[in-house]
Structure 1
Amino acid sequence: MGEPDAVPDGPVGPVAAAVARYAGLAGAVLLTIAGWLGGALPDAPLRTTLAGLWHAAYGPWTLGCWLVGTGLLVGAWWSLRWGAPSGRWAYLTAGLWLLPPLFAPPLGSRDVYSYACQGWSWTHGVSPYQVGVAAAGCPWTDAVSPIWRDTPAPYGPFFVLLAGLAVLAGGGLVGALVLLRVVAVAGVLLAALCLPGLARAAGVPTRRAAWLALACPLVGVHLVAGAHNDAVGLGLMLLGLLVLVRYPGKPRALVVAGVVLGLAVAVKAVAVVVLPFAALAAVLGRYTWRALLRDGGWHAGAVLATLLVTSLATGLRLEWVEGLAHSGDSQQWTSPPTAVGFVVDYAGALLGRKPHAVPGVRLAALVLLAVLLVALWWWAWTALRRLNEVRQRVIQMASARPRVTLLGAGLALAATVLLAPVFHPWYATWPLALLAVATRSPARAVWFVAPCAVASVLTLPDGTNLARFTKAPGAVLMTALVVVVAVRLVRAVPARRAR
């Protein structure tokens, strides 16, 4: 493959690179200042209007620092979307950008308080899958967002275990928050270690993959400062896939990868959509149904065993599966199916009817998601089967196999995030990481980089989601975007068949 990091896809001069690096760093510093002025501190009052945010103590300074900082960070990341000057430069710059948020209070969300209370509930003998943190008696309930105080935990038993250990070792709320951030940072570091191996395996320059996946503002604000459990889940998922890509067909490696991916699912269930593609990566040699059952069987068995062991070891059994049903309690236009449901309700109101379309549209989206996941897996399987018949150079075959499986998994995660009943900005980090290591064309990377840039501006430092204040216009714009994308996809089908 030569030296993929040596030559950029486009001209990146030293001056442009330096401007991007330090503009992003300035943005990260401003976001941290905004966090201390008006972030999601435990005793910060919950604001329900933009006016309330503006008239709060240091309100104008908080919003000013947040808006300017976000603009600088997003602009700097976007300016090098074609790739950083080198892999080393990308890692160093992303690391610089992540340092200020490391010392900020929780930013962009109050979910970390929910984690702490769920861990507290478990350590006090109350299942977080049966009752919300308020009913469990958590002493830090006031710091939790009201919508999640009475909602059972939607996370897996392994993360509940980690949250419980953080509470026990932390000795209080501040200590628990610090340790939960340590867990999140460990997840980001694990992802950073896995990215080069996955990118090289797929024939993608490390300098571009690392830049897109690590320098994205969503990582610093939500995974590091916000301490979201997506960080550790993402790190475990990438590690499991890396083991499979490097050691396909080897029973020990398949078991290790299965355990790691099982833990990823036991952190957050979204990782489950990657498992069918991981089974494809596990195959050694020619792709046949027999080989898939043989190598994929080892892998699947390890995943199931890990889920069973973690469920039983924590005493939570399979209660956590029931908790997933409550993850869609929130309704915001940032979820495309929810936005379409809102627009149908608005249209019905104009006609004097109340269709209550959101649940129906969400259900239809989940059915569509199931169809898409099957179609994506079948596409990956048939593409890999074709490689059995095509004579290519060994090095091309070596990069084609992992690229197909990683791209399929990334597209599956993107479909899951977009068609789920709820979308939060940090959800985008899952498909972003895989698509960054699997997309060879810089031009094609724009289609998933642009949504991540937009998602980076959807929240305020105290966790307020701007979607709350833009429900009607946001729903209309999102629905219009859905229609445009659907029309373009339909028009593209005949063109592809004609090729």
Structure 2
Amino acid sequence: MPVADPDAADRPGRARSARYAGLVGATLLTVAGWLGGALPDAPATTPVGIWRGPHGPLVLGCWLVGTVLLVGAWWALRRGAPSTRWAYLTAGLWLLPLLAAPPLGSRDVYSYVCQGWSWTHGADPYRVGVAAAGCPWTDAVPPLWRDTPAPYGPFFVLLAGLAVALGGGLVGAVVLLRVLAVAGLLLAALCLPGLARAVGVPTRRAAWLALACPLVGVHLVAGAHNDALLLGLLLFGLLVLVRRPGGPRALLVAGVLLGLAVAVKAVAVVVLPFAALAAVLGHYTPRALLRAAAWLAGGVVGALLVTSLVTGLGVGWVGGLARSGDSEQWTSPPTAVGFVVDYAGALVGREPHAVPVARLVALLVLTVLLVALWWWAWSALRRLNDVRQRVAWLAAARPRVALTGAGLALAATVLLAPVFHPWYATWPLAVLSVATVPVARTTWFVLPCAVVCFLALPDGTNLARFTKAPGAIAMTALVVALGVWAVRVALARRARPA
């Protein structure tokens, strides 16, 4: 049985106000996009440049007010929409104007198009940048990414190439990539109720948090980011495991889906160890885990091999991942810490060059943390072996532990990665929305999603670029505060009598 929420039924007037406030907000964002969005021929600019440009005050005003309305409407119903159907209809209503907008909040879709063009014209996007490959739309790509290899998997390069081949030009390719993003979002939407019910999370809350989040409409749909496809494949694979654990055929199918997710974006790799836990049927023993993991790995490896062979690209995309950290922004906590160390060094006449070191330390911490999270999930599931009663909470506890581990792994990856973009927050949001039962425990991942909605301007300008020093100091202070809090909690728990 789903766990009842406080505020189980939001007042109809409040819900209606949120619905139409969000619709007005999405419409204002679309207007801002057409007046000053990430159009192909729009030059790179700054907030001041936008303000002084044509319709500048109107662009920034529409974007700010629209974002406030959309975020406020989503936040107002964070405990759950009036019903699951209402949540789906409202999220879809908010997407309608954004479907008619130009690319918003980022110019990455033009990188996708040029990488697809490079592959269809015989160049290896994992070896040369889009400028060297001769893409005719290179001017639309952000300068930072014109000479870097593609960091995306072969399955997505294949889809981007098909979009270019079928689109007949830049606009057609962008439209098809947005259609692909919508397809990924629809796939995720189909999977959310099944996952939420398996864990005991109210579907009206899971659907609202995961689908109505402004990051989804602005970045995944209007921005046509491949993260939408990643999440659709990821949730579909997890749903297959939750619904049919233990069966070899189901494990292979789930492995293929998860392998395709990895072949879109490599971040899906961190979910695989927890997916293996969800795949076990019956008692959690090392033998049962190895059997389930072997079938699952077969599907994952098969999907990667087939997409690599079909595209002829092999595993060269792994090397492109190293260049994704070329962007240095304080929104990545380890990068922010590195900035602050460099600032401190400059005060005493030294140049520590601490950013690469801080990033390396963060990756080592991430590795340890992922192992610890997996061991926690495995230990918790092993303890369920001792529970003899076949009660409803036991059936829900198995997928809940595995999905919570996967969501926390994605959250840790986002926090400790060398680079952060606002749409990255949708990775843990989607999984934790269906895995977190107590409504009081959702704030820690919902609030950051609301905050980062304000980081980007309609033309893709990242406000973090213009707040480097204050942003780095604030982020470092937050990291220190969270570290002190974590130590105090750990000491308090250790001090409690057994």
Residues 40-189 of structure 1: matches in 2 within 5 Å?
Answer: 40-47=38-45, 49-189=46-186
Residue 10 of structure 1, CA deviation: 4.9
One of 216, 220, 224 as aligned partner of 2:213: 216
Residue 293 of structure 1, CA deviation: 0.6
Residue 172 of structure 1, CA deviation: 0.5
1:295 aligns with 2:286: no
TM-score (norm 1): 0.98
Q: Partner of 1:327: helix, strand, or coil?
A: helix
CA distance in 2, matches of 1:411, 1:456: 21
CA distance in 2, matches of 1:238, 1:250: 18
4+ residue segments displaced more than 6 Å = none
Give the percent of matched residue pairs that are identical in Structure 1 and Structure 2. 78
1:481 aligns with 2:478: yes
Deviations 1:448-476 (A, max 9, x none): 00000011110000000000110001001
Deviations 1:56-109 (A, max 9, x none): 111111000000000000011111111111111111111111111111000000
Q: What is the aligned partner in structure 1 of residue 442 from structure 2?
A: 445
CA distance in 2, matches of 1:221, 1:392: 47
One of 342, 349, 355 as aligned partner of 2:346: 349
Residue 394 of structure 1, CA deviation: 2.9
Residue 447 of structure 1, CA deviation: 0.4
Q: What is the aligned partner in structure 2 of residue 496 from structure 1?
A: 493
5+ residue gaps, structure 2, are: none
CA distance in 2, matches of 1:92, 1:480: 41
Size of the aligned set, in residue pairs, is: 496
CA distance in 2, matches of 1:405, 1:493: 23
Q: What is the aligned partner in structure 2 of residue 14 from structure 1?
A: 12
Q: Partner of 1:328: helix, strand, or coil?
A: helix
Deviations 1:148-188 (A, max 9, x none): 01111000000000000000000100110000000000000
CA distance in 2, matches of 1:130, 1:202: 44
CA distance in 2, matches of 1:398, 1:99: 38
CA RMSD of aligned residues (A): 1.1
Deviations 1:354-390 (A, max 9, x none): 1010000000000000000000000000000000012
CA distance in 1, matches of 2:306, 2:326: 29
TM-score (norm 2): 0.98
Deviations 1:105-140 (A, max 9, x none): 000000000000000000001010001100110000
Q: What is the aligned partner in structure 2 of residue 399 from structure 1?
A: 396
CA contact (8 A) 1:122 1:164 kept: yes
CA contact (8 A) 1:8 1:84 kept: no
1:30 aligns with 2:31: no
Residue 395 of structure 1, CA deviation: 1.4
One of 450, 455, 459 as aligned partner of 1:458: 455
5+ residue gaps, structure 1, are: none
Q: What is the aligned partner in structure 1 of residue 266 from structure 2?
A: 269
Residue 297 of structure 1, CA deviation: 0.8
1:191 aligns with 2:183: no
CA distance in 2, matches of 1:494, 1:352: 38
Q: Partner of 2:442: helix, strand, or coil?
A: helix
Deviations 1:392-417 (A, max 9, x none): 44311110000000000000000001
Q: What is the aligned partner in structure 2 of residue 206 from structure 1?
A: 203
Q: Partner of 1:200: helix, strand, or coil?
A: helix
CA distance in 2, matches of 1:167, 1:346: 45
Q: Partner of 2:325: helix, strand, or coil?
A: coil
CA contact (8 A) 1:17 1:85 kept: yes
1:426 aligns with 2:410: no
The code of the aligned residue for 2:485 comes to: R
